[in-house]
């Protein structure tokens, strides 16, 4: 993996965490990742209660943070599943080598509308199981950290 320090990883998600155990785990994983890459977490909030309006507002919130030249990854139930080694090579290494950085997007409880999914570079599924957005954030952070240890040959992944 060859990337400059300007490259960073951003995680943009709908909702914020009030649970201290989620925040503690998230903070610890971000600290570990920061040894390899800068990482930023942006939590955005939707005010809508109507499902259709909420999906539209969530897409507008997420897409307002799009930056040119970045690899846009949407976590979605319809996305492709990867094992940890594939994820490290095809998403992290490729994303940081071929783009200015990687943005991971986690939508709200109803996901994004089909037409909005088309503008992402790829869709990734973390599991066949459904996770709430805060647990998905922690699983994603752990996989990002695991990916860097795989790429760097650091003992963590067996």
Per the CB < 8 A criterion, the answer to whether 112 and 13 are in contact is no
Does residue 72 fall inside a structural domain? yes
Instruction: Identify the residue whose tokens are 């320090």.
Output: 5
- The domain spanning residue 121 has which CATH number? 3.40.1280.10
Mean predicted confidence (pLDDT) in 86-102: 91
d(CA 55, CA 90): 28
Question: Does 129 count as an annotated binding residue?
Answer: yes
Q: What is the maximal distance between C-alpha atoms in the chain?
A: 47
DSSP SS3 for 150:
helix
Domain with 144, as residue range(s), is 8-152
Six-digit token string for 96 = 């940081």
Supply the pTM of this predicted model. 0.91
Q: Which residue has the higher pLDDT, 27 or 49?
A: 27
Q: Which tens digit of pLDDT belongs to each residue from 36-55?
A: 999 999 999 888 889 999 99
Question: Does 149 count as an annotated binding residue?
Answer: no
Describe the crossing of helices 133-152 and 20-33 by its angle, rounded to 10 degrees. 20
Question: Does 107 count as an annotated binding residue?
Answer: yes
Question: Does 101 count as an annotated binding residue?
Answer: no
Question: Does 84 count as an annotated binding residue?
Answer: no
Does residue 70 fall inside a structural domain? yes
Does residue 21 fall inside a structural domain? yes
CA-based nearest residue to 38, from 100, 87, 98? 100
Q: Quick one: pLDDT band at residue 82, thresholds 50, 70, 90?
A: very high
Question: Total domain count for the chain?
Answer: 1
Does residue 49 fall inside a structural domain? yes
Q: 79 — phi, psi (to 5°)?
A: -75, 170
Q: What is the mean pLDDT of the chain?
A: 91
Q: Which residue has the higher pLDDT, 155 or 81?
A: 81
Does residue 3 fall inside a structural domain? no
Question: Does 135 count as an annotated binding residue?
Answer: no
Q: Quick one: pLDDT band at residue 3, thresholds 50, 70, 90?
A: very low
Does residue 136 fall inside a structural domain? yes
CA 87-121-85 angle, 5° bins: 5
């Amino acid at each position: 993996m060859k990337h400059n320090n300007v490259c960073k990883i951003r995680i943009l998600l709908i909702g914020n965490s009030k649970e201290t155990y989620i925040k503690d785990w998230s903070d610890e994983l971000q600290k570990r990742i920061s040894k390899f890459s800068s990482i930023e977490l942006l939590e955005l909030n939707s005010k809508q209660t109507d499902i259709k309006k909420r999906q539209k507002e969530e897409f507008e919130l997420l897409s307002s943070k799009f930056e040119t030249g970045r690899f846009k990854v949407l976590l979605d139930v319809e996305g492709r599943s990867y094992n940890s080694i594939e994820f490290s090579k095809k998403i992290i290494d490729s994303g940081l080598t071929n783009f200015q950085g990687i943005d991971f997007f986690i939508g709200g409880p109803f996901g994004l509308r089909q037409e909005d999914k088309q503008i992402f570079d790829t869709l990734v599924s973390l599991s066949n199981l459904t996770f709430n957005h805060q647990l998905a954030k922690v699983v994603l952070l752990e996989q990002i950290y695991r990916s860097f240890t795989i790429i760097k040959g650091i003992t963590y992944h067996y």
